Amino acid sequence: MVDDKERNMKCLTFFLMLPETVKNRSKKSSKKTNQSSSSSSSNGSSKLPPVCYEIITLKTKKKKKMAADIFPRKKPASSSSTTVQQYHQQNLSNNNLIPAPNWQGLYPTIRERNAVMFNNDLMADVHFVVGPPGGTQRLPGHKYVLAVGSSVFHAMFYGELAEDKDEIRIPDVDPAAFLTMLKYIYCDEIDLAADTVLATLYAAKKYIVPHLARACVNFLETSLSAKNACVLLSQSCLFEEPDLTQRCWEVIDAQAELALKSEGFCDIDFQTLESILRRETLNAKEIVVFEAALNWAEVECQRQDLALSIENKRKVLGKALYLIRIPTMALDDFANGAAQSGVLTLNETNDIFLWYTAAKKPELQFVSKARKGLVPQRCHRFQSCAYRSNQWRYRGRCDSIQFAVDKRVFIAGFGLYGSSCGSAEYSAKIELKRQGVVLGQNLSKYFSDGSSSTFPVWFEYPVQIEPDTFYTASVILDGNELSYFGQEGMTEVQCGKVTVQFQCSSDSTNGTGVQGGQIPELIFYA
C-alpha cells in the first residue's frame, strides 16, 4: 500500500473552498456535507461554519506555459481597444496618447506592452528636444527602456557621471532619424527610408546601437548606384564602414563616368574629391574627370560664398587640380576642352601642348601617366562554334539569352560572332533588361574579319547587375553575310570568382538558346 508521503510525491492536492453556501443546495447534499464537516471538526474545530471542498490533482511534471501560450493574442472586443500596430502608427506623430483602461491585458508579451510606450508621454521620465534650432521636435522617453537598448543612454542615466535632467537637447540628430532609433529600441522593429537612412546611421553610431547601424549599412549597400556612390563613399569614410567603402569604390570604378556626372559628386568633401581624383582604376575618360572637378569647384564656391570666377574655382580646387591627368587626354579633348576652360595658366597650356607634340617634353606638375582603369572579364558560354550554308542568318530577328550571377557585376557589353564568309560589317542593337525593364541599350556597328573570333559590342555605360536575379541579354543584328554560331552551350560557367547561369529566353526569335546560337560572351567588370 502506498503511504501518504509517496502519494504526495506523485501529485499535488489543492483544497479550494467554494463560494456556494450550504443552504442553496439540496437537503441530501446538505446532509452529506454536514457529516463530512462534523467528522473533520473532531480535533476541536467544531465551531467553524460548514464548508464544501473540491479536490483537484495536478501532475508535477506538467510543462510550464509561457504568457503568450496561456493568453493567446485576441482581437479587441470593442473599437475602443487599440492594436500595437495602431499605436506604432499614431505614436510617430502623437506622443500624448492615453492607452485604453487595462491596456496591459490586451498584449500577451512584454515586447508588445513595451511597444505601447514608444513615443508615448505615459510614464515618461525624460524628454528629448531633437533637431537644429528652428526644426526641433520634443520626444518623450523612458530611461529604463533606453538604458537597456543603448550603452550611451545607460551611462547618461545610470552611470557615475549621470545627470538628473528632465529635458535633454540633441541638436545634431534629425528628429525622424531619432524616432527610427527609438522605434527599434522600444519595438524591436527597423523601419528605414532612403531619405533618412544616413541620418539614422549617424544616430545609431552616436548612441552605439550596433544592430541598427548594421541594418542601415545593409540598406545602403542594396540601394547603392552610380548616382549616390560618391556621397556614400564620403559618408562611409566618416562612419568608418570599410565594407560599404569598398562597395562604393566598386561602383565608382566600373561606372565612373556616371558617378562623376551625378549631382551627388558635387556634394562630397574635399578629402573625398582628392581620393577619387587619385584613383588609379577609375574607368573614365580624363576629360570627364576634368569637367566633373570644375562642376564640384563651382558648387564649392557657392558653399563658401565666393563669386563664381575662374580664379575662385582654381582656388577651391587647390592642389587637387594637379591630380587630373590632363596630359593623358586625347589631343582634341584637351584643345577643345581643358585648354579653353581658363582654369589653366598660359604657361601650363603651352607646356601641355609641347608635351603632345615635342620630342623633348617639358616637366609638368600634372600626372602624365594614364590611369590603368579596369580590365574587363569575358564569360564564354560555348565549348565550340561552327557554320553552315543556311545559318546563322539575320533578318531583323532577335537573338536572346537569360543569365544570372552570384555576385554583383557590371555588364560592359557582349561578344558576338562575325561573318563566316569573309570580311563583313554588321549593325548591332544590344539590349539588357530585367523583368521587362530596359536597363541599357546601344546601337553600333562592328567589323568582322571572317574568323571564328568574337567581336565586342559595348554599352554606353556599364550596367549594374545584382546577384541571384535573371537578366535578359538581347541583340538584333543586321548583315547580309551568314555568321558563325556557338554550340555545346553550358548552363553554368565559372568565370574568375563569378558564377554565371544561363537559361533560354522567350524573347529569342532567331534560334539562340542555351545549347547554341549567338551572344557567346558576356563582357563585364567585377
Contact 374, 252 (CB under 8 A): no
Q: Digits of tens for pLDDT over the chain (526 positions)?
A: 445 444 444 443 333 333 444 344 444 444 444 444 444 444 444 444 444 433 333 343 444 333 334 334 444 444 333 444 554 454 555 545 556 778 888 888 888 888 899 999 989 999 999 999 999 999 999 999 999 999 999 999 999 888 888 899 999 999 999 999 999 999 999 999 988 999 999 999 999 999 999 999 999 998 999 999 999 999 999 899 999 999 999 999 999 999 999 999 999 999 999 999 999 999 999 999 999 999 999 999 999 999 999 999 999 999 999 999 999 999 999 999 999 999 999 999 999 999 999 999 999 999 999 999 999 999 999 999 888 766 677 878 899 999 999 999 999 999 999 988 888 889 999 999 999 999 999 999 999 988 999 999 999 999 999 999 999 999 999 887 788 999 999 999 999 999 999 999 999 999 999 999 999 999 999 9
**Domain 377-525 in the same topology as domain 253-357:** no
Backbone angles phi, psi at 444, to 5 degrees: -150, 175
Query: Which DSSP helix (H) or strand (E) runs through 489?
Result: strand 485-489
C-alpha triplet 232, 237, 239: angle, nearest 5°: 90
Beta strands across the sheet bearing 377-380: 377-380, 521-525, 409-417, 454-465
Contact 510, 397 (CB under 8 A): yes
What's the CA gap between 57 and 15, in Å, rounded? 10
Q: Mention every residue, 6+ apart, whose C-beta is less than 8 A from residue 75.
A: none
Residue spans of the domains in the chain: they are: 85-223, 253-357, 377-525
Predicted TM-score (pTM) of the model is 0.74
- HSE on the CB side for 427, CA within 13 Å? 7
Residue 49 CA: distances (Å) to CA of 16, 38, 60, 509:
15, 10, 32, 98
For residue 280, the tally of other CB atoms under 10 A from its CB is: 10
What's the CA gap between 324 and 202, in Å, rounded? 32
The CATH label, of 2.160.10.10, 2.60.120.820, 1.10.3210.10, 3.40.50.720, for the domain at 377-525 is: 2.60.120.820
Q: Supply the CATH classification number for the domain 253-357.
A: 1.25.40
Assigned C-alpha cell, 506: 522567350
DSSP track, 463-484: EEE-TT--EEEEEEEE-SS-B-
CATH 3.30.70.890, domain 85-223, yes or no: no
Q: How many residues does the chain have?
A: 526
For residue 408, the tally of other CB atoms under 10 A from its CB is: 17
CA-nearest of 19, 17, 47, 51 to 34 is 51
